[in-house]
Amino acid sequence: MGRTRLRGIEIAGIVLAVESPPGFQWNWPEQGLGELACAPSEPEIHIGVTVGEVVPPQGSPITYSFDGGTFDVDRVGGEWIVAVHGTRQPFERLARFDADFTVGHVVVSPGAVQACAHPLVGPLLDLILIHRLIALGGLVLEGTAVIENGRALALIAGDAGAEQPADVPKSWRRIAAPGQSFTPGSRFALRIEDSRVRVHGLPGRRGAAATALSGRLEAIHLIARSSQMFADTVSGDDAADILLEHVYAPVHDPDCTERLMTAAARVASRVPVMRLGMPEEQRVVPFAWGKRRAALGFAPPPVG
């Protein structure tokens, strides 16, 4: 029997180790997740992979869609079961995870091996990251964050449910000033580390544009369309509610509600939250630390 292959990757401060058989040849995408590859020592999450027959699970799962097909999520006892279906083949992969998504096993159907870029492609990596970040007291939010010299500003487009153009984050990136970097994709992670909130970039839905960008969060701006410009500071429960309106919450896991509420309250108590009204013809200007236009949003919270 050949030795298994163990590969590590670090995303949002979380190290994953994936152990697969030598006959299953795969690599993290060079222009995406490959940039986040790391030594698989002392991983927080360990996932074993085998190639074999995928036995359809019994249960009453919740079904979601993604770019490559659909996937089912179900909880049986203390175990999570995820079945990934492609457009041509049902049950391409079947994954089982413990309650906190720290240990898992993925079975890949022989017919899906050739088209499988890596064992966690598609919804599996997303599910693992979202569940682990929530378990660690963090949040995954829709929007983008701009980082400069280790400091970050989170930008969230519009009020929940409001119609927003799909390219809002892209338009923000186009106005980045020298020295500023934007997190990729349409989401980012927040984690509280040493009583401070940090922003972490997350890979795109297809694993592309992965980044190790991270910065200390200074403020959160909710940018909404308005007939006139305004800037309102939001605090307390109202600020936490705004975050919850834009958070990625696993519908299949109602037990995480309390964790999300606690995390949102902790973030809102540590970081200023503002609602900004912007007429459609206006553009969000690049911010500069310490400049007058940024002072209102980046004023440090009161101490004590």
Model confidence pLDDT, tens digit, residues 21-78: 988 989 888 778 888 999 998 999 999 999 999 988 888 999 999 888 899 999 998 8
Residue owning tokens 């770019």: 67
Q: How confident is the model at residue 220 (pLDDT cuts 50, 70, 90)?
A: very high
Token duo for residue 222 = 């909710």
Q: Quick one: tokens of 274?
A: 């503002």
Cα–Cα distance list, 84 to 7, 63, 88, 115, 154 (Å)? 22, 10, 12, 13, 32
Specify the pLDDT at position 1: 45
Angstrom distance (rounded) from CA 234 to CA 135: 26
Answer yes or no: is pLDDT of 170 > 80: no
Higher pLDDT, 203 or 259: 259
CA-CA distance, 92 to 86, in Å (whole number)?
A: 6
Q: Where are the alpha helices (DSSP H) in 32-181?
A: 123-135, 168-174
Torsion sign across C-alpha atoms 296, 214, 204, 93: negative
Query: What is the C-alpha separation between 239 and 273, in angstroms, rounded?
Result: 6
Residue 169: per-residue pLDDT:
52
Q: What is the mean pLDDT of residues 254-276?
A: 94
The model's pTM: 0.84
Least-confidence region, from 85-99, 206-220, 250-264: 206-220
Yes or no: say if 216 and 190 are a contact pair by the CB < 8 Å rule. no
Structure tokens, 149: 């010299």
Contact 129, 12 (CB under 8 A): yes
More confident residue, 146 or 208: 146
> How crowded is the C-beta side of 50, counted as CA atoms within 13 Å?
9
Specify the residue for token string 């660690």.
136
**What whole-number distance in Å separates Cα of residue 302 and Cα of residue 304?**
7
Q: E-assigned strands of 121-242?
A: 139-142, 144-148, 151-157, 181-182, 187-193, 196-201, 214-225, 230-234
Percent helix / strand / coil, the chain, rounded to 5? 20, 35, 45
Phi and psi, residue 257, nearest 5° = -55, -45
Q: What's residue 276's pLDDT?
A: 85
Residues contacting 277, CB < 8 A, separation 6+: 224, 225, 226, 228, 229, 230, 231
Give the tokens for residue 270. Answer: 């540590």
Predicted local confidence at residue 2, as pLDDT: 56
User: 105-163 pLDDT, tens per residue?
Assistant: 999 999 999 888 899 998 999 999 999 999 999 999 999 899 999 999 999 986 544 44
What is the C-alpha to C-alpha distance for residues 112 and 125, in angstroms, rounded to an integer? Answer: 17
79 Cβ neighbours under 8 A, 6+ residues apart = 96, 97, 98, 99
Query: In what helix (H) or strand (E) does residue 259 lie, and over which residues does it extend?
Result: helix 257-270
Q: Are 183 and 211 in contact (CB under 8 A)?
A: yes
| 3 state DSSP class of 39 | coil
